Structure 1
Amino acid sequence: MRIAELHPQPDWVLSIVSEDGRVGRFDVTPYLEYEAFEELRDHGEFIKVINGGYFVEWECGADLSADTIEAQWKVVGKAEQQNTV
């Protein structure tokens, strides 16, 4: 999976649109118990997420691969395609 869009939500969830148009939500809260993700407990740090296409990362060094996200996310729909003429 390649991540086309990434939007952090208030509840430690990432709203994600994949390159193929799937739209889903990925809950980061289970990862907050791990030392590498500890700084993300501060929501101000969590929202600084960076889209690397095949991964997401934060300034603190925490990261998640698109494969990990795809295995755990909840697909909620399909993005509307825009006509390009």
Structure 2
Amino acid sequence: MYWDVKTVRPLDNYRIHVQIEDGREGIFDLKPYLDRGVFRKLRDKRYFDRVGIVFGAVTWPHEQDIAAETLVAGMVPADQGKKW
């Protein structure tokens, strides 16, 4: 299965919209991560909005990244409001 992230965009309330190479897309909530180590920096909305993709993973400029497998396991389908 090809799970690399194809697109990502920041949303309100510390969520991101993600599209996976296999065609799935959904919303991933980062609020549970904001009190953990390097993810604390994501509390800064301007920094949070600098989200991007490197080697198929969602990343930010300073050490934060989330693998596609984690996104797929935790994202809610964008059009259905339920988990995969």
Which category of TM-score, normalised to the shorter sequence, fits these structures? Answer: 0.7 to 0.9
Contact 2:6/2:56 (<8 A) preserved: no
Aligned equivalent of 1:38: 40
- Structure-1-length-normalised TM-score: 0.82
Segments of 5+ residues of structure 2 without an aligned counterpart are 80-84
Measure, in 1, the Cα distance between the counterparts of 2:62 and 2:4. Answer: 22
Runs of 4 or more, structure 1, over 2 Å off, are none
Aligned equivalent of 2:77: 75
Measure, in 2, the Cα distance between the counterparts of 1:52 and 1:59. Answer: 10
Q: How does 1:17-36 map to 2 (within 5 A)?
A: 17-36=19-38
Segments of 5+ residues of structure 1 without an aligned counterpart are 78-85
Number of aligned residues:
77
Residues 13-48 of structure 1 deviation map (CA, whole Å, 9 limit, x = unaligned): 110111122120000110001021111100100010
- Structure-2-length-normalised TM-score: 0.83
Measure, in 2, the Cα distance between the counterparts of 1:66 and 1:25. Answer: 13
Partner secondary structure for residue 33 of structure 1: coil
Partner secondary structure for residue 32 of structure 2: helix
